[in-house]
Amino acid sequence: MRQNRLIPHSNRRSGGREARRSVRAAPLADELRPVRPGLSGGTFKPLNDASVKAIEDTVYQILDEIGLSQAPESGVKYMTDAGAIEGDDGRIRFPRALVEDTLAKAARHITIHGQDEKHDMLLSGSRVHFGTAGAAVHVVDVQNNCYRESYLADIYDAARIVEQMDNIHFFQRPMVARDIPDPADLDFNTVYAAIKGTTKHVGCSFTEAPFMKPAIDMLHMVAGGEDKWRARPFVSNSNCFVVPPLRFATESCLVMEEAVHAGMPVLLLSAGQAGATAPASIAGAVAQALAEVIAGLVYVNAMVPGHPCIVGTWPFVSDLRTGAMSGGSGEQGLLTAACSQMLQHFDLPGGAASGMADAKMPDAQSGYEKGSTLVMAGLSGLNMVYEAAGMHASLLGFCLESLIIDNDMIGQCLRCVRGVEVNEATLGVAVMKDVCMGGAGHYLGHDQTIGLMQTEYVYPAIGDRSSPKEWEELGKPNLVEVASQRKDEILASFNPTHIPDALDAKIRSNFNVLL
């Protein structure tokens, strides 16, 4: 009996497999894809209601009683004119009424633009997007199992790869171009390499405010004029405007002011390290980070009410045995998810870091560190998950192959974010009757199965799901080797043309382009 049932099953499976392959070969409309940018999370909530209320009250207490020090004179004036209080100790304190007023008028449901509008991201509620970020000073050389210095060309190559990765939704500079010693040239060329390599939204940073003008002028040229740039700013300023604990970073604040005046969205970034520049307790680190970024929100809204800000609670975890950062730890995942929950409590568009492996190479350690922290960030409903792809060695190394591997991983995380749709069609009692009462006795080849193959399930682009026998017949493919081959294919064949040659030539004639 068992043998008689297996024979037709085997034959049908072969035909079903070809049918499935044929269906999968057809491109899907964006709205039918199983995963896509902006899926809503929020199902993972590490904080209960009492904890959320306690952290909120602590944030108000920190701002009112401790405040922040070392604001530039211009910032002091903006904030005190809005109602902040400058104490005899030089600290700026924020009465609760001022904070509540700022939270009431701060921009929500903001759109972060790409050069191509298909990459626009709506930051609202618990909509989730994954992307890169960082300031790694090394590139991971997987072929030689070593690290080398990162260069401007690496930033451009990373942007080109991200352009081809469906599950990496934005590109923030992940490396420092160590081959450009002059800070002004570094800032300009980093922006140029990024926007040249991808049409997705780009995040950048600047060393000093005077260095920004050439980049802003270039962005006006690419956009087609200042008015078009201001209507659709496709680059944001990642701004570490605070030096935790609770101090303004004077130079970065001046950069932030310049970005606001230029119409550039700002990522208000607080990057304390728990146990070092932030409290060792996860709750305390979350409260301090929120207080710092809300102070930045007061600052920006005192300048331009409603200016688009991404509230960047980025507290990191320390390995308290050594004091070293531990970006791949479970505590980091919890910390990021707790920040995400609090940002949604305040109804603020926000971002935080996750997926920063401590592993030096794309290996098993990298996989479990990135997978566990990224899925927590996604399920928490974080609007922008920064440093989600390519990062190693607790932000010191960046791996181009890992962009391709992590794209698969993020696809799995996004499928978890999407969750389970329960309705009459998905429960499928009619289909069960069809199959079990006179049908084939299995669901292979059924119309529902074929129809759901692409819309309900995610398939890895390079991950291996073959049987051991098939794997051996295929030459025993290795994930990192496959990623390296894919990287080489992209970099050899994909040369973005979204900036026309004539415009690029004009940019090169006007500015010191080093790429």
Instruction: Give pLDDT tens digits for 84-113.
Output: 999 999 999 999 999 999 999 999 999 999
Residue 344 lies in a domain: yes
291-313: pLDDT as tens digits:
999 999 999 999 999 999 999 99
Share of the chain above pLDDT 90, in %: 88
212-236: pLDDT as tens digits:
999 999 999 999 999 999 999 999 9
Beta bridge partners of 242: 248
Higher pLDDT, 142 or 438: 142
Predicted local distance difference test score (pLDDT) of residue 453: 87
Residue 410 lies in a domain: yes
**pLDDT(11) > 50:** no
pLDDT confidence tier of residue 1, bands split at 50, 70 and 90 = very low
* Structural domain count, the chain: 1
The H or E element that residue 4 is part of is: helix 2-25
Residue 178 lies in a domain: yes
Residue 137 lies in a domain: yes
Query: What residues make up the domain containing 111?
Result: 103-418
Over its C-alpha atoms, the chain yields an Rg (Å, rounded) of 25
Residue 312 lies in a domain: yes
Candidates 399, 326, 401; CA nearest to 369 is 326
Q: What are 431's two structure tokens?
A: 């289909």
CATH number for position 127: 3.20.20.480
CA distance 331 to 318: 9
Place of tokens 């690290």: 147
Predicted local distance difference test score (pLDDT) of residue 162: 98
CA distance 107 to 179: 38
Pairing outcome for strands 127-130 and 39-40: antiparallel
Q: What are 242's two structure tokens?
A: 């605070």
Predicted local distance difference test score (pLDDT) of residue 84: 98
Three-state SS string across 212-247, please?
Answer: HHHHHHHHHHHHCCHHHHHHCCCEEEEECCECCCCE
Distances in whole angstroms, Cα of residue 210 to Cα of each of 75, 111, 239, 482? 17, 27, 15, 44
Distances in whole angstroms, Cα of residue 404 to Cα of each of 384, 388, 484, 488? 19, 12, 9, 11
Residue 463 lies in a domain: no
Residue 272 lies in a domain: yes
Q: What three-state secondary structure class fits 14?
A: helix
Residue 291 lies in a domain: yes
